[in-house]
Amino acid sequence: MVGSPNPSMDLDRTATWNDVWSAGNLRVVVVPDIGVMHLEGGRVLGYDVQLLEWWGRKTGHSIEWQYAASVHEALEAVRLGTADVAVGPIPQEGLVELTATKAVRRFTWKLAGSIPEPKSAKKTGKKSKKSKKKSAPETIQIPGEYPKPLWLLEAQQLNVVPASTSMFRFANLDSALWILPDYMLRSWGKKGINLAKGSFHWALRPGDSLLLKELNQLVQGSKTRSLRGALARKPIPKPSDRDSLISSYDALLVGHDGWNRFTLNALVFAESRFNPSIVSPAGAVGLMQLMPATAARMNRGPVDLYDPKANIKVGIRYLRYLDLFWADRGVPDDQRLSFVMASYNTGPGPVLDARKRAKAKGYDPSRWFGHVDQVAKGPGGHYASKTRGIAQQYQGYVQSWRRARQRSMPLQQP
């Protein structure tokens, strides 16, 4: 089935696409917490992720993104060798057997939230009387599976317990006290009480000295100071239950057998940036940038391509047509998505020509990555890789967000 995900693993490696050509990739595992990564209009934003993406483009390093639902999970991936770098709200004290970069963020730890009201007061509607006995200190939460900073380990007067959720973004500040960084707290519009100075770092294995040097230059070097300042000044959106939505068109991009919403959202973003009224210089219209003649043929009649629902409906029909086109030409199921994406951008003709050239040079004409893509020319030659990368980021972010969110949901009583 084209575009279907493989069974999930410990980390969300976003296996929507098969046969990923990943030779020489830097494997980065991300905890997409507040400020690290979020989606906005289909764009992948966040201080850490954007900083690394810039570095990858500047240095030519190809990045393979992985996603974790907790800091503990990300650090374990680096320790086990399934990732090279862990990125997220990682305090230096948690890096057992690992090496920390220089500080990626410096901030102030804050105490914020609400003291839970006693159950007796909730039932009667009256405020409880103060007991003459010395009451136990209020419970304060931090994410579950989170390595406590050194100052917190030494703060014996604070009754700190792990929360059910493994990310700061799910902190329930309306009903509990939390310790969290000031820059995260500002996204809620709250101030809090100062507790201690802190810093977050990226983690890698000892011995990766060259990589450590490059990353240290990225996070604190003079050449990237203006970039870091620009990224740090960008406002961080308030966490929301809608953060797992990729676009406002998600509802129209689900329920299409064989096509998941990550791949479809990636295609729409690459084509139109989710602008339903855009028209290309060549005359392609709407969300999925369809040529009117092609759309009429797929719809067996006129169609309003400015209408998002109609545009997506016809666009998916065209994708199914391309899927059958390549199936008839012997491209196996697990390889067709790449051929479909490339030919969606250019039409099937240039991709057929690329297959012939690939075969003549000794490549396998039924495989895209590492074979046909080596000879494909023009924008279509890179289109499969482009849409694949976007889809993988969408899927990894959403799946890790959901796993962390599920941990924060209360269990239903039988």
Range of the domain at 255: 250-392
- Has residue 297 been placed in a domain? yes
CATH at 299: 1.10.530.10
The per-residue pLDDT for range 168-224, each reduced to its tens digit, is 999 999 999 999 999 999 999 999 999 999 999 999 999 889 999 999 999 999 999
User: What is the CB neighbour count within 10 angstroms for residue 369?
Assistant: 18
pLDDT at 304 over 60: yes
Within a domain: residue 42? Answer: no
pLDDT, residue 114, reads 87
Final residue belonging to a domain, choices 199, 220, 237? 199
| 56 found inside a domain | no
Share of the chain above pLDDT 90, in %: 77
Residue 8: the pLDDT is 36
Q: What is the pLDDT of residues 280-295, one digit of tens each?
A: 999 999 999 999 999 9
Q: Which long-range contacts (CB under 8 A, 24 or more apart) does 376-383 make?
A: 376/342, 376/350, 376/351, 377/350, 378/346, 378/350, 379/345, 379/346, 380/342, 380/343, 380/345, 380/346, 380/350, 380/351, 381/342, 381/354, 383/270, 383/341, 383/342, 383/344, 383/345, 383/346
Q: Is the pLDDT of residue 124 over 60?
A: no
307-334 pLDDT per residue, tens: 999 999 999 999 999 999 999 999 999 9
Q: Is residue 142 part of a domain?
A: yes
Q: pLDDT tens digit string along 8-19?
A: 334 444 333 343
**pLDDT tens-digit map of 348-367:** 999 999 999 999 999 999 99
Same domain, 157 and 287: no
pLDDT band of 410, cuts 50, 70, 90: low
Verify that 195 and 254 share a domain, yes or no.
no
Q: Check whether residue 368 and residue 256 sit in a common domain.
A: yes
Same domain, 181 and 267: no
Residues 309 and 178 in one domain: no
Which token pair is 352? 């057929």
388 and 261 in a common domain? yes
- Indicate the pLDDT class of residue 125, thresholds 50, 70 and 90: low
Q: If we measure between CA atoms, which residue out of 182, 161, 158, 180 comes closest to residue 169?
A: 180
User: Any idea what the CATH number is for the domain that residue 154 is in?
Assistant: 3.40.190
Same domain? For 276 and 363 the reply is yes
pLDDT of residue 407: 73
- Token digits for 97? 């057997």
Residue 61 lies in a domain: no
The answer to whether residues 259 and 340 touch, using CB atoms and an 8 Å cutoff, is: no
Q: Does residue 381 share a domain with residue 273?
A: yes
Flag whether 75 is in a domain: no
pLDDT band at 116 (very low <50, low <70, confident <90, very high): low
**Chosen domain end from 199, 219, 236:** 199
- Same domain, yes or no: 254 and 376: yes
Q: How many domains does the chain have?
A: 2
Q: Is the pLDDT of residue 104 over 60?
A: yes
Residue after which a domain boundary falls, among 158, 174, 199: 199
Is 33 a member of any domain? no
Q: Record the pTM.
A: 0.86
Q: What is the pLDDT of residues 270-283, one digit of tens each?
A: 999 999 999 999 99
**How far, in Å, CA of 219 to CA of 202, rounded?**
9
**pLDDT tens, residue by residue, 236-264:** 999 998 999 999 999 999 999 889 999 99
Q: Are residues 254 and 388 in the same domain?
A: yes
Stretch 83-93: mean pLDDT: 95
